[in-house]
Amino acid sequence: MKKSVSAAVCLTVVHAISLLQAAVTDDVDMLGHFERRIRPVLIEHCYECHSGDNTENELRLDSHQGLLKGGLLGPAVVPSDVDASLLLGAIGYTRSDLQMPPDHKLDSSVIADFKRWISAGAPYPEIAAADEGIDTVQVSPPSSASAEVARNWWSFQPVSDPTPPQIAVAGEQMQPLDSFIRDKLNQQGIS
């Protein structure tokens, strides 16, 4: 009797772990799907008019918040609701009043990728990272001042072969690196 109860408990635990593992794997797969299939299309076809300071119809597509908030017509993406997501209607040319990109309809495989992403809840990498307590950094182009600082940073300087300082310490034989360290310590009065 005890053996059958133990076996049942073990099987239940193993089954629960496998279900959790499958859910985590699906989430990771969809984040990869977003990075491989969704973000590149948004960058190539949408960011020119709908990112940063350039937001036609008050629509930003370069952030998760922008996708959910949408623009003047409403939310661009409604997670898990393909029919309510205006973005899908626009790229699929299913609406006569809203067809994006304006010069041509995207390939049907691209539209299917968006449909799959939205159906899966429209997972977004920065949101997933925040949920796990990971800080993300928004990267912006460097200003001329920060570019100058970067060019002068020590690690961007050419490699040199300086002569080690001559430090005499009675009874010690020093390697060249030790001479540099001892010299700095002497300069700071910490010898």
41-57 residue pLDDT tens: 888 888 888 888 878 88
163-185 residue pLDDT tens: 998 887 777 788 889 889 999 99
Strands (E), 53-181: 54-55
pLDDT for position 16? 47
Angle between helices 108-119 and 2-33 (to 10 degrees): 140
How is the chain split among helix, strand and coil, in percent rounded to 5? 55, 5, 45
* Mean pLDDT on 153-165: 85
Residue bearing the bigger pLDDT, 132 or 84: 84
In one-letter notation, the amino acid at residue 154 is: W
Widest distance between CA atoms in the chain: 89
Please, what is the Cα angle at 164 between 163 and 170, to 5 degrees?
145
pLDDT for position 119? 92
Q: What is the CA radius of gyration of the chain?
A: 29
191 with 185: CB under 8 angstroms? Answer: yes
pLDDT for position 102? 87
pLDDT for position 112? 94
N-to-C CA span, the chain: 75
- Residue 51 three-state SS: strand
pLDDT for position 10? 52
Q: Give kind and range of the element (H or E) at residue 178.
A: helix 176-187
Q: Which of 64, 80, 69, 68 is nearest to 115 (CA)?
A: 80
58-108 residue pLDDT tens: 999 888 888 999 999 999 999 999 999 999 999 999 988 888 998 889 999
Query: In this model, does residue 8 exceed pLDDT 90?
Result: no
pLDDT for position 20? 42
Question: 62-65: which pairs have CB atoms within 8 A and are 24 or more residues apart?
Answer: 63/126, 64/122, 64/124, 64/126, 64/127
* Residue 26 C-alpha from the chain's centroid: 18
pLDDT for position 23? 41
Domain boundaries in the chain?
7-136
pLDDT for position 80? 92
11-41 residue pLDDT tens: 565 554 544 444 434 455 778 888 888 988 8
88 with 118: CB under 8 angstroms? Answer: yes
Query: In this model, does residue 131 exceed pLDDT 50?
Result: no
